[in-house]
C-alpha cells in the first residue's frame, strides 16, 4: 500500500527525487563516496551548490541584483537574524500578524528594537489574512514583514501589499508553489522542509542593495553579507540538504516549472475545498478569500470523530492529518510533492466517512 504523507513538515518529497538520491547515496558521480562525505570546497559539491542556485534563479525568475544564500538554523533563526541586521537604533520595523509563526517573528524582533504590528487577525483566531485597507503603516519603516502562508491556520496571501518600505516575506510553506514576482520583495526566506528538500537548510533570496544597509556590528555567522560574499561557503554548509534542493529543483523544472506546479496545486486544493463546501459534517474556519492552497484545515463535530477519522485514514495509508496541537482538528498539507492521487484518496475517505458518520 502506498503511503501518502500529509504532514506539515518535514513533509513528503517527490518519489523520483527520493529514488535518485537513493541511487546516488553511496556513490555520487562515480566518486565512490556519498555527496555528504565529499568536501564542501571540492569540485563535485561546487557543481551541486551552483546548480541549486541556478535552478532557484531560473524557476523563480529572480532579477539581477539579488543573491541566493543557503543558511542553517531554520526559518526561526531568520526571525532574529533579520532585525539583528536591519532594525537599527532609532528605526522601527513593521509586521503583519497572521498566525503563530508571524507572531513568533514579532517576538524575536522585539528583542532588538521598535517593532510595530500594523495588521492582525488574532482577534478572529487567525481565520483570514487582514485586508490591506486596514493596515496601519507609517513612512520610514526599516522593513515590512509578512508570512505568506500560515501552516497552522490554513491561510495564505492571494496577493501582496504594495509597500514603500522594503517588503520581507517568510515563504517557508509556499515557496515555489506558485508564481511570485520576486522584484516586489527585498528579502524572501524559506525553510526547505516543505517544498524544497529536507530540514536543516534555509533558502534566502536577498536584494543586494538591501543587504548593504545592514548594521556593522553583527556576528559573522549572522550577517547576510557573509553568505553573499562567501557564496554560502564561509563555513561547512548543510551539504546534503543543498544537494536535495538541487534534485527537487531539477524535478520542478522537469515537470514544467511554476506555471505547471501552480496549476496542479490549485486543482488539488479545489478537490478538498469543494468537499468541505458541500459537507454537513466537515467545517473549515478559514474565510474563502484567505484559503491556503498548501495547508487545508478542517474540523469534525467531536474529538471522538477526530480520532476515528485519523484511525481510518492511517489504515488507508493517509498519514500526518492531525491538526496542530494548538488548534486541533485536521490539516491536510498538500505541498508540491503530494500527487493528486493522494488528494483524491483523501476526498474519497472524507466521502465514505461522512456517509457512515453523519
pLDDT at 271: 98
CA-atom Rg of the chain in angstroms: 21
pLDDT at 310: 97
CATH topology of domain 257-357: 3.90.1150
Mean pLDDT of 128-152: 97
**Percent share of the chain, pLDDT over 90:** 98
Instruction: Render pLDDT for 325-353 as a digit per residue (tens, 0 to 9).
Output: 889 899 999 999 999 999 999 999 999 99
Instruction: Render pLDDT for 221-242 as a digit per residue (tens, 0 to 9).
Output: 999 999 999 999 999 999 999 9
Mean pLDDT of 138-160: 98
Residue labelled with grid coordinates 503530494? 338
Which residue among 97, 174, 194, 207 is the active-site one? 194
b/e string for 311-345 if b means 16 or more Cβ within 10 A? eebeeeebebbbbbeebebbbbbbbbbbbeebbeb
Q: Number of helices and strands (H, E) in the chain?
A: 10, 13
Residue labelled with grid coordinates 476515528? 308
Instruction: Render pLDDT for 50-102 as a digit per residue (tens, 0 to 9).
Output: 999 999 999 999 999 999 999 999 999 999 999 999 999 999 999 999 999 99
pLDDT at 328: 87
How far, in Å, CA of 198 to CA of 333, rounded?
16
Q: Which of 160, 206, 207 is nearest to 180 (CA)?
A: 160
| Farthest-apart Cα atoms in the chain, separation | 64
b/e string for 230-254 if b means 16 or more Cβ within 10 A? ebbeeeebbbbbbbbbbbbbbbbee
Instruction: Render pLDDT for 194-215 as a digit per residue (tens, 0 to 9).
Output: 999 999 999 999 999 999 999 9
Q: How confident is the model at residue 358 (pLDDT cuts 50, 70, 90)?
A: confident
Q: Examine the residue annotation and report whether 194 is marked as an active-site residue of this protein.
A: yes
Q: Is the pLDDT of residue 148 over 90?
A: yes
Residue labelled with grid coordinates 529572480? 62
Architecture of the domain defined by 15-254: 3-Layer(aba) Sandwich (3.40)
Which residue among 97, 101, 174, 268 is the active-site one? 101
Mean pLDDT of 125-144: 97
Q: Is the pLDDT of residue 273 over 90?
A: yes
Q: Where are the domains of the chain?
A: 15-254, 257-357
The three grid cell numbers given for residue 343, joined into one nine-digit string: 488528494
- What is the signed CA dihedral for 284, 288, 290, 293, rounded to 10 degrees? 70
Which residues, 6 or more positions from 252, have their beta carbon under 8 angstroms from its beta carbon? 55, 59, 176, 258, 261, 336
pLDDT at 325: 87
How far, in Å, CA of 216 to CA of 248, rounded?
36
How far, in Å, CA of 247 to CA of 331, rounded?
27
Q: Examine the residue annotation and report whether 170 is marked as an active-site residue of this protein.
A: yes
Q: Is the pLDDT of residue 153 over 90?
A: yes
pLDDT at 314: 98
Average pLDDT over all residues of the chain: 97
Amino acid at each position: 500500500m502506498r503511503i501518502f504523507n500529509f504532514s506539515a513538515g518535514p513533509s513528503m518529497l517527490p518519489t523520483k527525487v527520493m529514488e535518485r538520491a537513493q541511487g546516488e547515496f553511496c556513490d555520487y558521480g562515480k566518486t565512490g563516496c556519498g555527496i555528504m562525505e565529499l568536501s564542501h570546497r571540492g569540485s563535485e559539491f561546487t557543481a551541486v551548490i551552483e546548480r541549486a542556485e541556478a535552478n532557484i534563479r531560473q524557476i523563480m525568475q529572480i532579477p539581477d541584483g539579488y543573491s541566493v544564500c543557503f543558511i542553517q538554523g531554520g526559518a526561526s533563526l531568520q526571525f532574529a537574524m533579520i532585525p539583528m541586521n536591519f532594525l537599527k537604533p532609532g528605526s522601527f520595523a513593521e509586521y503583519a500578524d497572521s498566525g503563530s509563526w508571524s507572531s513568533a517573528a514579532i517576538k524575536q524582533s522585539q528583542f532588538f528594537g521598535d517593532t510595530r504590528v500594523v495588521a492582525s487577525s488574532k482577534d478572529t483566531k487567525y481565520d483570514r489574512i487582514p485586508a490591506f485597507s486596514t493596515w496601519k503603516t507609517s513612512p520610514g519603516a526599516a522593513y515590512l514583514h509578512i508570512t505568506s502562508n500560515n501552516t497552522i491556520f490554513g491561510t495564505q496571501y492571494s496577493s501582496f501589499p504594495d509597500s514603500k518600505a522594503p517588503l520581507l516575506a517568510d515563504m517557508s510553506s509556499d515557496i515555489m508553489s506558485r508564481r511570485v514576482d520576486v522584484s516586489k520583495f527585498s528579502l524572501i526566506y524559506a525553510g526547505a522542509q516543505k517544498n524544497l528538500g529536507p530540514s536543516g537548510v534555509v533558502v534566502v533570496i536577498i536584494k543586494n542593495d538591501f543587504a548593504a544597509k545592514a548594521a556593522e556590528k553583527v556576528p559573522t555567522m549572522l550577517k547576510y553579507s557573509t553568505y553573499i560574499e562567501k557564496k554560502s561557503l564561509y563555513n561547512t554548509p548543510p551539504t546534503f540538504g543543498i544537494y536535495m534542493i538541487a534534485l527537487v529543483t531539477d524535478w520542478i523544472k522537469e515537470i514544467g516549472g511554476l506555471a505547471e506546479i501552480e496549476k496542479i496545486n490549485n486543482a488539488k486544493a479545489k478537490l478538498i475545498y469543494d468537499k468541505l463546501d458541500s459537507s454537513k459534517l466537515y467545517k473549515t474556519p478559514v474565510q474563502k478569500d484567505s484559503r491556503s492552497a498548501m495547508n487545508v484545515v478542517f474540523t469534525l463535530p467531536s474529538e471522538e470523530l477526530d480520532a476515528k477519522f485519523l484511525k481510518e485514514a492511517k489504515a488507508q495509508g493517509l498519514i500526518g492529518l492531525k491538526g496542530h496541537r494548538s488548534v486541533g482538528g485536521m490539516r491536510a498539507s498538500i505541498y508540491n510533492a503530494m500527487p493528486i492521487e493522494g488528494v483524491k484518496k483523501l476526498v474519497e475517505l472524507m466521502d465514505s466517512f461522512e456517509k457512515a458518520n453523519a
